[in-house]
Amino acid sequence: MRTVCCLLLGITLTSALPAAEGIKNPAIDFPQFLRLAAEVAPVRERHRVSEAEFIAMAGRPDTVVLDARSADKFVLRHIKGAINLPFTDFTEATLARVIPSKASRVLIYCNNNFVGAQASFASKAAPASLNISTFVALATYGYRNVYELGPLLDVAATKLPFTGTEVTK
């Protein structure tokens, strides 16, 4: 059996399957992912912002609004001024191309921040929300000035400006 400690929850997870001792892959490190997720969890909680805070921060210098959704969803609807880098394309090099420095303020949002536009913002299961994995991935690459849009907003009522092929305003 393999035991993995999850500090965030204060529990120990034991897999029901025996460890695959013969299957080594240094490019995949699940225990380190869990450690990092636990480390950034309290930071993420403090860096979740309201709609008004998100709008104010987006207007400040050295701020990147990062949309990590797929390119096809981004084309349909995104926050005006956002830069699209799909989560599946995150690497050290691609992140460096869209974020000026690791000290830059990065604002993130995802499908689960919006209702009323299922085609562009299809809801995901809450534990699979892209905000969670994006926040952890950015921390993994050394970005520590990351803020996340916190609330669930109706696209018809939000003050955030959208653009894209699905937007009719």
DSSP count for the chain of H helices, then E strands: 5, 11
Which residue type occupies 7? Answer: L
**Cα 141 vs. chain centroid, distance in angstroms?**
13
Q: Give me the residue label for tokens 């998100």.
A: 54
What pLDDT, in 10s, does the model give residues 95-120?
Answer: 999 999 999 999 999 999 999 999 99
Mean pLDDT value across the chain: 90
Which residue type occupies 12? Answer: T
Structure tokens of 90?
A: 């995150």
> What's the CA angle centered on 46, arms 66 and 12, to 5 degrees?
100
What pLDDT, in 10s, does the model give residues 10-48?
Answer: 545 544 445 567 789 999 999 999 999 999 999 999 999
Rounded-to-integer distance, Cα 84 and Cα 166, Å: 16
pTM for the predicted model, two decimal places? 0.87
Q: Is the Cβ–Cβ distance between 70 and 78 less than 8 Å? A: no
Q: Is the Cβ–Cβ distance between 160 and 79 less than 8 Å? A: yes
Provide the 3-class DSSP secondary structure of residue 119: coil
- pLDDT higher than threshold 90 for residue 159: yes
Position 5 scores a pLDDT of 47
